[in-house]
Amino acid sequence: MRDYIEAMRKRGELTVVETPVHPKFELAAVTQRLQQLSDKVILFRNVIGARMPVVSNIYGSRKRLCEMIGAADGNFCRRWTELYPGGQASPAATTHKANANTAAIDKKFPRVSGKLSDLPQITYFEKDGGPYITSALYLARNPQNKIANLSFHRSQIISDSELRVRLGSTHDLTQYQKLAEKNGDALPAVLLIGTAPEIFIAACASLPIDEDELSAAAAISGKPVAMQKCRTIDLEFPSTTEVVVEGRFLPNVQRPEGPFGEFMGYYVPVGNNAVFEVLDVHWREDALFHSLNCGSPEDMHALDFAIATRIYRNLIDKVPGVINVACYPNLMNTVVQIRKQYEGHARHVLLAAFGAHLDYSKCCMVVDEDVDINDLNDVFWAYLTRGRADTRAFILHDIPGFYRDPHKDHWGRLAIDATKPFGREQEFERKRIPGADTLDLSKYVQII
């Protein structure tokens, strides 16, 4: 991660905050304001009470996310499918061989011991129950087949020895914990804070439970993921990880967690959630702590690509003409771009898209290839100018939605065909000014 941040500094895509900031609200507030101005990475050098600087907005740019996986044309979904087609990753091994020189790895990446309270105690939103770790990847192994899983779960800091963690009912880590609980066992896990970009992106990927996200990380980088042994549990962690928290999920124990300001823009109320017993905390020399504002561009862009790639892969196996997919997770809205081939093509795509991801597609919209799927203004322009508003939208009633929905607020589906009428495409050709897309504006005015 630090190598990537240095690269962003050299490119002029790093904003450095030298002024001391308080971890309660102030850090999140400055992050939010800076994200409104640009998508640059943000580095806080002086966080009050913390033993390390804080970095944020690493993944707050769609362009940078595409660069990270080599999607030169900006089509993240297509490139991801090329890197990881149907779960078949590159042949690169995910860890060192059994006879690897682990002592040499430990020497190359020396670590400093500490405790949870040494880390930045960041409270993000006004009514949050306390400080949270929001950017950590949980690494655990299936108790049965030992397949590694990487996943994100908000974690409330209770004390130096305890985190309370939201494990959703559909998450793979939840299934791992249930398997361990059947035998009355705790589930060993390690929190990774500040990983290499390929590991973060792999953790975002929505892979089947029997696929190893570390393999996906190796596919992105084209080389094995260097690993180190944990100190207190029988797991390994990626050696370049900035901060590591080792511990275990206690079996059959839940305690109150929350409230917390989640990605949809509302507070999730206090609820009984998993308890993580902290056994050890350590970090690299001169470590950087990754902070992530939930619901921010950094959060939404990463989640967008995670959901979109899953839907894209499902769609290309079922319907023709699919070009790209974009998601707006905080709106539970999916936009699919197609090359329309027949009357009713968009409706086939809409039905297939709803079945591809049952949680996040409360609304699905299909557009032509000339529409910018990352701009909802452009998407709605296509819907409202290319045909009737009534017959090109339909509602699917009483279909369960987002998994955390006790009052059924997210039941039902809205489907919108925003494509041109089939056979009349020439009537809807977009006007354009030759050269406007490619001219160098600096020749005419001073660019700030």
Residue with tokens 């006007």: 431
Contact of 266 with 219, CB cutoff 8 Å: no
Residue 93 falls in which region: left (phi positive, over 0), alpha (psi -120 to 50) or beta? beta
Contact of 187 with 144, CB cutoff 8 Å: no
What is the radius of gyration, based on Cα positions, of the chain? Answer: 23
pLDDT given for residue 91 in this prediction: 43
Q: What tokens appear for 379 in the block?
A: 């998407």
CA 438 to chain centre: 32
Q: Where are the alpha helices (DSSP H) in 357-418?
A: 376-385
Task: Domain ranges for the chain, please list them.
Answer: 73-284, 318-428
Residue with tokens 């080389």: 223
Per DSSP, the three-state class of 413 is strand
Q: What tokens appear for 339 in the block?
A: 């090359």
pLDDT given for residue 231 in this prediction: 95
pLDDT given for residue 405 in this prediction: 75
Tell me the CA distances in angstroms from 448 to 11, 368, 445, one per residue in order.
16, 34, 9
d(CA 64, CA 257): 34
Q: Mutual orientation of helices 76-83 and 213-221 as an angle, nearest 10°?
A: 100
pLDDT tens track of the chain, all 448 residues? Answer: 999 999 999 999 999 999 999 999 999 999 999 999 999 999 999 999 999 999 999 999 999 999 999 998 999 999 988 887 755 544 444 444 333 456 666 677 789 999 999 999 999 999 999 999 999 999 999 998 888 889 999 999 999 999 999 987 778 899 999 999 999 999 999 999 999 999 999 998 877 777 888 988 988 888 899 999 999 999 999 999 999 999 999 999 999 999 999 988 889 999 999 999 999 999 999 999 999 999 999 999 998 998 899 899 999 999 999 999 999 988 889 999 999 999 999 999 999 999 888 777 889 999 999 999 999 999 999 999 999 999 999 999 988 877 677 888 888 899 999 999 999 999 999 999 999 988 998 889 986 5
pLDDT given for residue 408 in this prediction: 86
Task: Identify which of 157, 151, 152, 153 has the alpha carbon closest to the alpha carbon of residue 128.
Answer: 157
CA 295 to chain centre: 11
d(CA 58, CA 41): 5
Q: Which amino acid makes up residue 177?
A: Q
Per DSSP, the three-state class of 26 is helix
Q: Where are the alpha helices (DSSP H) in 75-120?
A: 76-83, 102-108
Q: Is 24 exposed, middle or buried (0-12, 13-18, 19+ CB in 10 A)?
A: middle
d(CA 256, CA 338): 46
Query: Which value, to the nearest 10 degrees, does the dihedral of the CA atoms of residues 176, 263, 327, 418 take?
Result: 140
Exposure on the CB side of residue 430, measured as CA atoms within 13 A: 14
Nearest 5°: CA angle at 117, between 114 and 118?
A: 50
On whether the 318-428 domain is CATH 3.40.1670.10, my answer is yes
pLDDT given for residue 103 in this prediction: 64
pLDDT given for residue 210 in this prediction: 77
pLDDT given for residue 87 in this prediction: 52
Q: Which residues contact 326 (CB under 8 A, 6 or more apart)?
A: 304, 308, 334, 335, 337, 373, 374
pLDDT given for residue 245 in this prediction: 98
Task: Identify which of 70, 212, 54, 80 has the alpha carbon closest to the alpha carbon of residue 135.
Answer: 54
Quickly name the fold that domain 73-284 has: Pnp Oxidase; Chain A (2.30.110)
State pTM to two decimals.
Answer: 0.88
pLDDT given for residue 93 in this prediction: 42
d(CA 285, CA 221): 24
Contact of 23 with 31, CB cutoff 8 Å: no
Q: How many CB atoms lie within 10 A of CB 218?
A: 23
